[in-house]
Amino acid sequence: MMRDHRPGSPSALHDRNRASVVEALRARGSLAQADLARETGLSAATVSTIVRALAEEGLVDVANGPGRRRIVDLAGSVGYTVGIDYGYRHITVAVSARTRDLLCELRSPVDPRISAPGGLAVARRLVRDALDRAGIGRDEVVGAGMGLPVPVSRSTGRVGLDGILPSWTGIDAAALASEVLDLPVAVSVDNDANLGALAELRWGAAIGASDVVYLAMSEGLGAGIVLGGRVYSGSAGTAGEIGHVRVDGAGRSCRCGRRGCLETVASAQALATTLRQFLGEAPTVAKAVDLARLGDLDCRDALEAVGRYAGAALADACNLLNPELIVVGGEMAQAAHIVVPIMQRTIARQAIPGAAQSVRVRACKLGQRAHVLGAIALAAANVETSPVFDS
């Protein structure tokens, strides 16, 4: 039977509705089916019919999210993306077909003092190895993203002053990465905590949420802030630098030049510094959690203090931003069963009641892989010309 595509015909209306569903998914990435109806102004029944048809054609993926919500996303069928997590002591590279399923992931240690071009040369070797192992040609790469543990200005592209990697200060990170990596596409760069937030939003603990604070608690301590479903980075890229919120005026001096910052008491490094005096060596978070489970009171106290200090700073963040969800990521996520309940209690005591009652704190779902997945999501978003960011 011939379909009637004249304007105003039922079939033209169907095509238009279907296009608006696809357009909403392109613009917002994954969406709960209920939000898809709100976003497009279509009825729930119409959206349900269209999504079922798109899924049968393999154009969208449907998954079950929290609260039995159905989460819809465009199927990752077009081209491959490369994600790079350029960390403080490591570089991780991953290749994916724009989904959270990685085709290859490789990791190499790196000296924090290495020059930016030197570090990127390591990344280039890893990217080439990863593409080779996944059997993908350079020319099949349609997007590339990279996370850095430093503030990156979205207007100038340059790395800010306040980073943990001094050799990157002032560098146009995307331009240099694009030049050194020599892929057929430009490399997009953002702060790693922002990318962790993006990954948890798209594939992890924050699916379907729109106002989220993601805490990256590893060597340093930063946050990625999602407002209205988009990552907010601020005028110079320093939004979310919660690690330098002052929580103890007489406390340890911080690498930022001030004293008593949250990072000096609640990062994985701070935990190691605290416990070194009791244990004689600096433990990893996993080791401290093991010892606490075996009854070591110093380890338990130190982990609980991390939860209290971070909870106090988060209470202020709740008063300012009123998020619905706080996601604890980074190395400290391994201590989530200890620190998360304390954060939640501290927020309940210290934030205004309306903000405290509307927020849940939970552990990340993507673990240490959140940053590299965020780099994949950034690359995919550029391919989809999706406004996942605030500008």
Q: Which residues bind Zn ion (CB under 5 A)?
A: 244, 254, 256, 261
Q: How far is the CB of 174 from Zn ion (least distance, A)?
A: 26
Q: Quick one: which of 45, 49, 40, 48 has its CA closest to 16?
A: 40
Which residue's CB is nearer to Zn ion, number 73 or number 192? Answer: 192
How far apart CA 268 and CA 371 sit, in angstroms, is: 17
Burial class of 140 by CB neighbour count within 10 A (0 to 12, 13 to 18, 19+):
middle
Q: How far is the CB of 236 from Zn ion (least distance, A)?
A: 16
Contacts of 87 (CB under 8 A, 6+ apart): 110, 149, 192, 218, 219, 371
DSSP symbol at 151: -
Q: How far is the CB of 151 from Zn ion (least distance, A)?
A: 13
Which residue's CB is nearer to Zn ion, number 313 or number 376? Answer: 313
Which residue's CB is nearer to Zn ion, number 88 or number 389? Answer: 88
Q: How far is the CB of 312 from Zn ion (least distance, A)?
A: 15
Tell me, rounded to whole angstroms, the distance of Cα 87 from its chain centroid.
14
Which residue's CB is nearer to Zn ion, number 183 or number 247? Answer: 247
Q: How far is the CB of 264 from Zn ion (least distance, A)?
A: 7
Q: Are 314 and 343 in contact (CB under 8 A)?
A: yes
Which residue's CB is nearer to Zn ion, number 181 or number 221? Answer: 221
Q: How far is the CB of 149 from Zn ion (least distance, A)?
A: 14
Q: Are 326 and 360 in contact (CB under 8 A)?
A: yes
How far apart CA 110 and CA 91 sit, in angstroms, is: 7
Which residue's CB is nearer to Zn ion, number 267 or number 346? Answer: 267
Which residue's CB is nearer to Zn ion, number 208 or number 260? Answer: 260
Q: How far is the CB of 244 from Zn ion (least distance, A)?
A: 4
Contacts of 56 (CB under 8 A, 6+ apart): none
Q: Are 145 and 382 in contact (CB under 8 A)?
A: yes
Q: How far is the CB of 332 from Zn ion (least distance, A)?
A: 17
Q: Are 330 and 218 in contact (CB under 8 A)?
A: yes
Which residue's CB is nearer to Zn ion, number 55 or number 256? Answer: 256
User: Any alpha helices (H) in the chain, and if so which ranges?
Assistant: 10-28, 33-40, 44-56, 116-134, 173-181, 192-203, 263-266, 268-279, 285-293, 297-321, 336-350, 353-357, 370-383
Contacts of 340 (CB under 8 A, 6+ apart): 307, 328, 361, 362, 363
